[in-house]
Each structure stands twice: as structure tokens, then as C-alpha cells.
Amino acid sequence: MKRAALYLRVSTVDQHPETQLHDLRQMAAQRGYAIVNEYTDRISGTKVKRPGLDQMMADARRGCFDVIIVWASDRIARSVKHFLEVLDELNRINVEFVSFREQIDTGGPLGRAIVVIIGAIAELERNLIVERVRAGMRRARLDGTRIGRAPLVLDSLAIQQDRQRGQSIRQIAKGHRISTATVQRVLRKHASTSQEHAA
């Protein structure tokens, strides 16, 4: 008999996990799974840290169960990328994933094929976004729009004079609103130029 873990997530305190729980327990019973643990999060799906999910994944890595059953795929992941990362890890540690609503079951060949298709669609979507961004940048350049930060305008002479007056590198950086590394670079450049002229 396979050991199953149930994972439930509700977004707000107004929602009740009992509806999800009833469906998942019924599914486990129909498949002859023994439920060994139930994990619940009352938190938004966009949150990276979710105590219930984190604990479930930690237990999965320890081999505490063979199958994870969720009510819907969006209950377990905050994005397609995150969903695929979770599925990839579960596959690596030989834990099956079953979704009640979408009827995804990675224990069978169809379920594994669906996961591959979802991954391909997600990759295509990422590539399309990248291409749209590149096309937008090309268009902006053709229109004469600057891409990225404006070049830093430095008053090298003023920086050198401030240093000669005894100001610290930190004070100069603060006064000119630049980094201490930039101040050091200007002073080094000035020092090397002075040495060349002296030679």
C-alpha cells in the first residue's frame, strides 16, 4: 500500500480547507492509499516561504511517503516555473504527484507526458518574453531612446582637490554622490597620469 501525503492551501482566513480535504481523502481511499500526513498553508500562493509546503518537501526528501495529493496544481506552486521545479525534485526522489482537479498523475506515462508538455509551454513562454523585450529594445534604439543608465559624469578635478584638502574617500564619495570605488579609480588614474608626466 502506497503512503500518501495531502497538501492543502487556502489563500485567506475566510476560506476553509475542509472542502479540499474531503476530496483528497476520498481520492486516497479510492486508490487504496494510506494517508500518513496532511499539510496545510493559509497563505498566498505567491509567497516563497510556506511552512506547510516546506515541511512536506523536507519529509518527502526523508522518504516519509510515496505520493503527494493536491486539490489543484496552483495550490502547490506560485508559478509554472516553481511548479516544474517541485515536480522535478519529486521525480528525482521518486515521489509521485497527483492533482485532483487536473487529474495529473506522474505515476503513469500520461501524467509524465503532461508534465513534459507543461515544461515545453513554460519554456516557449519564457523565450517569447525574452524576444519581445529584445524587439522593444531594438525599436527604442532606432527611435534614439537611451537604453540603460546614463553615463556617469565625474568632476575629476574637484575630486582631486577634495582629496588634497584632506577629505576622506568616504567623504568625497558622499559629497559627489558616487561610490568609494569610483573615487579610488579617479585618484588612481590621476596618480598614474602624474607619474607619466613626471617621467
CATH code for the domain of 51: 3.40.50.1390
Domain endpoint, select from 39, 72, 105: 105
Among 105, 45, 101, 107, residue whose Cα is nearest residue 76: 45
Q: Are residues 23 and 90 in the same domain?
A: yes
**Is 19 among the domain residues?**
yes
Q: Domain tally for the chain?
A: 2
Domain endpoint, select from 105, 132, 167: 105
Catalytic residue check, 44: no
pTM, rounded to two decimals: 0.57
Residues 6 or more apart from 123 whose CB is under 8 A from it? none
Please tell me which residue in 11, 79, 192, 194 is annotated as part of the active site. Answer: 11
Cell of 69: 495529493
**Is 52 among the domain residues?**
yes
Tell me what pLDDT residue 195 has: 65
Q: What is the pLDDT of residues 66-90, one digit of tens each?
A: 999 998 887 887 677 778 788 888 8
Q: What is the pLDDT of residues 110-157, one digit of tens each?
A: 777 777 777 677 677 778 888 888 888 888 888 877 766 666 677 888
**Is 80 among the domain residues?**
yes
**Is 114 among the domain residues?**
no
Q: Are residues 14 and 93 in the same domain?
A: yes
Domain that holds residue 94: 3-105
